[in-house]
């Protein structure tokens, strides 16, 4: 019979050996109980709906979608669930993105199982745990200049996407159902905020800094 005080833990990772290792730790801990597992983001969302875990160990690099997407979707529907981001490496901005998505903690996969167990217990109580690397990333983010395009409005982002597609002002106006004069105003705003001298330079900056998803415009 399940202990009423047991913490229900779900593991999301596409590597069987990682899930097996964590599940073994869960099985041998008196205050943990398994609450499902998943290999990808979509499966994680479905399993969470069914199992209602207290804490999710979320790999951030998954085959179908990233763990940040899964975290957002899960917490949108289950705001009381705690998510611990668990990853092998950091990419620029990943820590901030994970925490903004709602993750309680951010840890590296080289953490010891005993420390991971402590982090699960802390997350269950709403207390964050950050790896040293995550802490350094957050400190660096406070002094790092903002990425170009951070202040673009949603409409300016739409216009920029269409510039990347190579559309002229009239074509953009037709696509967005706005006047050419309004398009011209938004294009000027895009150039100003990206500090670009012309449309081609704005497109180059957008692609260089990942402001626009290049895969969707190839």
What is the reported pLDDT for 196? 92
Per-residue pLDDT tens over the stretch 2-42: 445 799 999 999 999 999 999 999 999 999 999 999 999 99
Q: Is the pLDDT of residue 116 over 60?
A: yes
The strand pair at 32-38 and 7-12 is best described as parallel
Tokens representing 5? 């005080």
In terms of pLDDT, which residue wins out, 190 or 89?
A: 190
* pTM confidence score: 0.65
Point out the least confidently predicted range of 109-113, 196-200, 212-216: 212-216
Q: Is the pLDDT of residue 214 over 70?
A: no
Kindly state the percentage of the chain with pLDDT values over 90: 73
What is the reported pLDDT for 4? 58
Concatenated DSSP letters for 107-173?
A: EETTS-HHHHHHHHHHHHTT---B-HHHHHHHHHHHHSPPPTTTT--HHHHHHHHHHHTT--HHHHH
Per-residue pLDDT tens over the stretch 63-115: 888 899 999 999 999 999 999 999 887 666 788 889 999 999 999 999 999 99
- Measured in whole angstroms, the distance separating CA 216 from the mean position of its chain's CA atoms is 18
Per-residue pLDDT tens over the stretch 169-188: 999 999 999 999 999 999 99
Concatenated DSSP letters for 76-107?
A: HH-TT-EEEEEES---TTHHHHHHHHT-SEEE
How many whole angstroms separate alpha carbon 16 and alpha carbon 209? 34
- Domains of the chain, with CATH numbers? 7-142 (3.40.50.2300), 154-217 (1.10.10.10)
Q: Is the pLDDT of residue 215 over 50?
A: no
Per-residue pLDDT tens over the stretch 125-151: 999 999 988 888 888 767 666 778 888
The strand pair at 105-108 and 7-12 is best described as unpaired
């Amino acid at each position: 019979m399940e202990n009423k005080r047991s913490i229900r833990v779900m593991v999301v990772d596409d590597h069987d050996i990682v899930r097996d290792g964590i599940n073994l730790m869960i099985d041998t801990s008196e205050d943990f109980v398994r609450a499902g597992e998943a290999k990808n983001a979509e499966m994680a969302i479905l399993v969470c709906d069914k199992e209602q875990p207290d804490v999710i160990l979320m790999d951030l690099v998954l085959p179908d979608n990233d763990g940040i997407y899964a975290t957002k979707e899960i917490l949108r529907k289950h705001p009381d669930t705690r998510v611990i981001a668990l990853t092998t490496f950091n990419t620029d901005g990943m820590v901030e993105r994970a925490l903004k998505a709602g993750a309680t903690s951010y840890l590296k996969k080289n953490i010891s199982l005993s420390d991971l167990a402590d982090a699960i217990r802390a997350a269950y109580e709403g207390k964050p745990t950050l790896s040293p690397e995550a802490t350094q990333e957050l400190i660096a983010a406070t002094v790092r200049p903002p990425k170009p395009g951070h202040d673009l409005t949603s409409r300016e982002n739409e216009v920029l996407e269409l510039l990347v597609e190579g559309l002229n002002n009239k074509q953009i106006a037709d696509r967005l159902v706005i006047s050419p004069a309004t398009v011209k105003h938004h294009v000027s705003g895009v150039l100003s905020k990206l500090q670009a001298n012309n449309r081609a330079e704005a497109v180059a900056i957008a692609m260089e800094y990942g402001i626009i998803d290049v895969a969707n415009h190839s």
